[in-house]
Homo-oligomer: A and B are copies of this chain.
Amino acid sequence: MVGSNGTVAAGTAMLAASMPMAADRARLQQAVGETNKLLLLEGTVDVDDVGAAAFAVEEPPVDEEAAAERQAEVARLLAGFRRHLQDRTDHHLGYPYNLDLDFSVLAQFQSFCINNLGDPFIESNYGVHSRPLEVAVLDWFARLWDLHKDNYWGYITNCGTEGNLHGLLVGRELFPDGIIYASTESHYSVFKAARMYRVKCVKVDALVSGEMNCADFKSKLLQNPGSPAIVNVNIG
């Protein structure tokens, strides 16, 4: 398996942090040359054998003028992309997203490598984190939902999918033989999670309103009297 990050982690990676890209590449090629094989999901590629049919390699320019020109090019590209996004946003009819946002006050944090790895309520061994802010957001939702202080746990997920994945995993860990019940109107990540976690999943019919069909839910529950139910509830 070649992970997004697992590939250049471990042993020599601490050195790599301060190396320029070209040196990184040379080091990588050397490392690859040593084994002469690059393991890939689709099989094994012989390193001597490729190159010709592969992408052309374009190294970043080394002289300052060319670097400045390249920077200007990137700026132009990003400005164009920004206009494109503005246009797409202006023509956006709607979705469960708030598009009227502006996090520009957070721009000053773009130069830090912030990582809130792990449980936000436990002290981290990695110093560059924003755990106090993460917990503050959790507190905000706890207030919103009238949850008792010290009577909840959570963390901020990268996305909605991860929230669903985590909730369903907690359900499965509590009920290892449980069955997931989710209405057909549920987000696709719920059914993906069931497959990932190897949990049987029963789809429950929905009414035209989008609501779960409780009669169908009851009859499907009664078909599995011996198995705990892990129920995915959509609110809103």
A residues apposed to B, CB below 8 Å: 1-14, 16-18, 25, 28, 31, 38-42, 45, 47, 50-51, 53-58, 74-75, 78, 81-82, 85-86, 88-89, 91-92, 94-115, 126-128, 130, 133, 139, 142-149, 151-152, 156-160, 162-164, 166-171, 185, 187, 196-198, 209-210, 230-236
Give 4 closest A-B pairs by Cβ, nearest first. Answer: A4-B163, A5-B160, A107-B107, A13-B96
Contacts of A94 in B (CB 8 A): 14, 17
Verify A112–B85 contact, CB threshold 8 A.
yes
Measured in the bound complex, the distance between the Cα atoms of B152 and A41 in whole Å is: 9
A3-B167, A50-B147, A106-B110 provided; 13 other pairs, C-beta below 8 A? A2-B235, A5-B163, A6-B235, A7-B236, A10-B235, A14-B95, A18-B100, A38-B146, A41-B170, A53-B149, A54-B143, A54-B146, A107-B107
- On whether the beta carbons of A230 and B1 are closer than 8 Å, the reply is yes
Contacts of A144 in B (CB 8 A): 25, 28
A158 touches B158 (CB 8 A): yes
Chain B residues contacting A56 (CB-CB under 8 Å) are 143
Q: Are B112 and A9 neighbours in the complex by a CB distance under 8 Å?
A: no
Q: Which residues of B contact A196 (CB under 8 A)?
A: 169, 196-197
Q: Give the distance in Å from the alpha carbon of A13 to the alpha carbon of B94 in the complex.
A: 9
* 28 A–B contacts from the bound complex (CB under 8 Å): A1-B171, A2-B233, A4-B156, A4-B157, A4-B163, A6-B164, A6-B232, A10-B96, A11-B210, A13-B95, A13-B236, A14-B96, A16-B98, A17-B98, A31-B235, A31-B236, A40-B152, A53-B149, A54-B146, A55-B139, A55-B147, A56-B143, A88-B128, A89-B113, A89-B128, A101-B112, A196-B196, A198-B198
Task: Let me know if B53 and A148 touch, CB within 8 A.
Answer: yes
* A89 proximity list for chain B (CB < 8 A): 112-113, 127-128
Does B81 contact A130, Cβ atoms closer than 8 Å? yes
